[in-house]
Amino acid sequence: MSEYDWLSEVRALVGREYGRVYAWDEVNPMMVRQWCEVMGIENPLYTDPEYAKQSEFGELVAPPAMLQPWCLEGLHMNNYPPGSTDENPYEVLGLLEQQGYPSVVAVNSELNFERYLRMGEKLYYTTIIKEVSEEKTTALGTGFFVTQIMPFYSVKEAGDEKVGELLFRVFKFRPAHSKASFENKSAAEKPDATKTDAIPRPYPGISDDTRFFWDGCAKHELRIQHCKSCDALQHPPAPVCSHCQSFDLDYKVSAGTGEIYSFVVMHYPEVPPFDYPNPIGLIELDDGVRMIAGLVGVNISELEIGQRVEVEFTSFDDDLVLPLFRSKSG
Amino acid sequence: MTLMKTKQFEDVCMGDQLPALEIPITVALIAGGAVATRDYFPGHHDKDAAQELGSPHIFMNILTTSGLVQRFVEQWCGPEGRFADLRIRLGAPNYPGDTMMFQGEVTALDASSRTAEVTLKGKNSMGNHVTGTVAVTLP
């Protein structure tokens, strides 16, 4: 795919290093305490001077995840403290914005800590543009991933000291959804459409041939299709007996016990709403037919072929009942 | 507080599961977290602005997610665990009204530096909000 002509101007910035951006405030206990309050962090190392005195630091230190906020400009964008660079370390994002990619979200933050910060330290960081991706489309929209490297330093008389480094990646994009689409949704669909909708379990496709099975699940009966002509059982349900081709079918209710004939454990990709790792069994029922079903209450590292299992009917999303299989101990 | 116990490196085994941590996602946490991390980007406190940007509601900033990841790991290892790195990747946004459940396990141990690596995820109703790794050095 050929790239846009204007991208060469953007790509020319890759590798460029921008000057210092200082912190407005020295590392201080008031901002630390408020940060800990919001995050729900109760480690006394950050807020209790008596406790901190007995630590290897001998005094309060700042939470490591707070490294980047010290140097953010605050309410007014690009309003950096005196002594900071006159350059705009984010000019690459401005260039993309001019080309019609107005939105931005952060996608990666990789913090590396050389040491913890003490109260009173004055920080600054510099910025290196590491990478601008090809144009990509995600669920949010279409745009570019921009990766920056930001080393953080503490100002010292004897020479400034590196205290940590951040790899920060953002997605600068043209949104796939407009504001109007949310407003229409709230008006048309329900009063609280801005509340997120949980992703439901996929529903089975139900046909005249399979309805008896799902009706059985709703009543917590594991129904297996039965041929009235030749007495054979079969699963999954079909319009005709696979043994004698008879159309004269009904069902028997299984005791729901059996053993694991085979299994897989799904790790990737993680698809909501399932929990991962996700164990799935091919169950050989004692009735003689096999059935694929989710496994619950099993220790994945101890799963094995031949393990005894028993059906457990589980309700999802109010009106869906699925037959899952639970390990039968002993 | 001083009763909080820190795990010794010898206490930790490969595959150890961290206690799950449930975080209710509220407007107060998202907007408060943005301000506590000095991030005044409108999408984190102004619903109209968030919708202009293509989101149904305000969404949690990555700096708050990093703070919550620190909390999740620190509650497991104790107050004397020292963070060497904290690497996260965001997926499904955290919107108000949702709940994020953290899960994690020990995926690497380095005896020479007494460092444990935790691989974690924070899952909401739409999938994984965050996945990542944290390296902590233990006493």
For residue A284, list its beta bridge partners: A259, A290
* Contact: A43, B74; criterion CB under 8 Å: yes
Compute the mean pLDDT over every residue in chain A, rounded to the nearest whole number.
Answer: 92
Question: Residue A191 pLDDT more than 60?
Answer: no
Nearest CA of chain B to the CA of A53: how many Å? 12
Q: CATH number for the B9-137 domain, one of 3.40.462.40, 3.10.129.10, 3.40.190.170, 3.30.70.120?
A: 3.10.129.10
Residues 78-97 of B with CB under 8 A from A: 79-80, 82-90, 92-93, 95-97
CA A53: distance to chain centroid? 38
Nearest CA of chain B to the CA of A212: how many Å? 31
Question: Residue A294 pLDDT more than 60?
Answer: yes
Q: What is the pLDDT of residues A213-269, one digit of tens each?
A: 999 999 999 999 999 999 999 999 999 999 999 999 999 999 999 999 999 999 888
The backbone torsions φ and ψ at residue A178, rounded to the nearest 5 degrees and listed phi first, read: -100, 160
- Which of B63, B79, B124 is nearest residue A69 as measured by Cβ atoms? B63
Residues 15-44 of B with CB under 8 A from A: 29, 32-33, 36-41, 43
Q: What is the pLDDT of residue A319?
A: 86
Q: What is the pLDDT of residues B13-41, one digit of tens each?
A: 999 999 999 999 999 999 999 999 999 99
Lowest-confidence pick of A268-277, A292-301, B41-50:
A268-277
Contact in structure between A324 and A294 (CB atoms under 8 Å): yes
B133 and A CB contact within 8 Å = no
Q: Are strands A290-296 and A161-175 parallel, antiparallel or unpaired?
A: unpaired
Residue in chain A closest to B42 (alpha carbons) equals A75
Question: Residue B10 pLDDT more than 70?
Answer: yes
In A153-295, which ranges are continuous DSSP H helix?
A: 179-188, 211-218
Scanning the structure block, which residue is given the tokens 């305490």?
A: A33
Which of the pair, A157 or A181, is modelled with greater confidence? A157
Q: What is the pLDDT of residues B89-133, one digit of tens each?
A: 999 999 999 999 999 999 999 999 999 999 999 999 989 999 999
Domain ranges of chain A: 7-27+62-180, 211-327
CA torsion A38-A39-A42-A43 (nearest 10°) is -130
Contacts by A287-292, CB closer than 8 A, 24 or more apart:
A287/A224, A287/A233, A287/A252, A287/A254, A287/A255, A287/A258, A288/A233, A289/A224, A289/A233, A289/A234, A289/A235, A290/A235, A290/A261, A291/A235, A291/A236, A291/A323
Q: What is the pLDDT of residue A139?
A: 80
* Contact: B88, A42; criterion CB under 8 Å: no
Q: What is the mean pLDDT of residues A54-68?
A: 97
Looking at beta carbons, which residues of chain B come within 8 Å of A273? Answer: 125
Residues 196-225 of A with CB under 8 A from B: 196-199
- Which of B2, B43, B70 is nearest residue A51 as measured by Cβ atoms? B2
Q: What is the pLDDT of residue A195?
A: 47
> How many residue pairs from chains A and B have C-beta atoms closer than 8 A?
159
Question: Residue A136 pLDDT more than 70?
Answer: yes
B134 and A CB contact within 8 Å = no
* Contact: A66, B62; criterion CB under 8 Å: no
Domain ranges of chain B: 9-137
B49 and A CB contact within 8 Å = no
What are the structure tokens assigned to A108, written together? 């990666």
- Which of B2, B54, B80 is nearest residue A140 as measured by Cβ atoms? B54
Q: What is the pLDDT of residues B36-57, one digit of tens each?
A: 999 999 999 999 999 988 889 9
CA A7: distance to chain centroid? 31
Q: What is the pLDDT of residue B114?
A: 98
Which of the pair, A276 or A285, is modelled with greater confidence? A285
Class of domain A7-27+62-180: alpha beta
Looking at beta carbons, which residues of chain A come within 8 Å of B29? Answer: 38
Helices and strands, number each (H, E), in chain B: 3, 5
Nearest CA of chain B to the CA of A224: how many Å? 34
Contact in structure between A146 and A77 (CB atoms under 8 Å): no
Nearest CA of chain B to the CA of A175: how many Å? 5
Q: What is the pLDDT of residue A182?
A: 67
Residue in chain A closest to B15 (alpha carbons) equals A301
A244 and B CB contact within 8 Å = no
Distance CA A11, CA A9 (A): 6
For residue B124, list its beta bridge partners: B127
Contact in structure between B33 and A39 (CB atoms under 8 Å): yes
